[in-house]
Amino acid sequence: MSQPEPAPLRALITGASSGIGRATARALAARGAALCIVGRDAAALGALQAELLEGGAQQVDLRVVDLMDAAARAALITGALAALGGLDLLVNAAGIIGMGTIASTSPAALSEMMELNVTAPMHLMQGCVEALAESGGSVVNVSSVTGLRAFPGILAYATSKAALDQLTRCAALELAPRGVRVNAVNPGVVRTELHKRAGMDEARYAAFVEHSRSTHPLGRVGEPEEVAAAILYLASPEARWLTGVTLPVDGGRQLTCAR
């Protein structure tokens, strides 16, 4: 007697319109997952949705949401859980970066960074806990090597990522009795739009990527697909005894001194 086909994994992915979030959505769709993709760029999300559906994805729900807005986050949780019929995986990939030192970073800049990079993931985890506990699901937060090591010139960003790492560990400890695992990936420099959106022009970004060859021991920057592969591993049954992990996916960057 043949076994019934397993139900598709149901995943909610923020920051899906570009970079690591988009690569994660593509990787999950290729494995038959039912997705809710979230971002602020409606055109980019629509293009990704069409691409995934044309590629054979069974379900791709699209949500254009400003995650800085608490009411919009609450509506997203309600809508996504209804659309997917539950949840197995929450990937908090949305985030922003900004330059600034202890002398130049304003309280408003720090508050904005914390709102999107820490408060929004916490709010989404809180709202999804019951669904994740019901399915025995997991959370993967997209943090940064700057959460593990100190670097100059990005004070608010590094502070927010260190807070996200501690949020990951605390949530993992508290949710373990409910069967929910919470982990994070900590990428080094990855070829995405993150730095350009923070104000780097093409020339500065090209120079930054070239410089990163010397700051990453493996001699290059990462690709979004490499981080997505780590996210899928942390969400997989093979990682079912891992929780509270902050996994460097960084070409060895966390092993080095600031330079």
* Helices (H) then strands (E): counts for the chain: 9, 7
Quick count: other Cβ atoms within 10 Å of Cβ 63? Answer: 18
Burial category of 257 from C-beta neighbours within 10 Å (exposed 0-12, middle 13-18, buried 19 and up)? exposed
Amino acid at position 131, single letter:
A
157 is catalytic: yes
Quick count: other Cβ atoms within 10 Å of Cβ 66? Answer: 13
Going by DSSP bridges, is the β-strand pair 59-64/34-39 parallel, antiparallel, or unpaired? parallel
Residues with Cβ < 8 Å from 82, sequence gap 6 or more?
none
The active-site residue out of 52, 157, 161, 181 is 157
**Looking at the annotation, which residues are catalytic?**
157
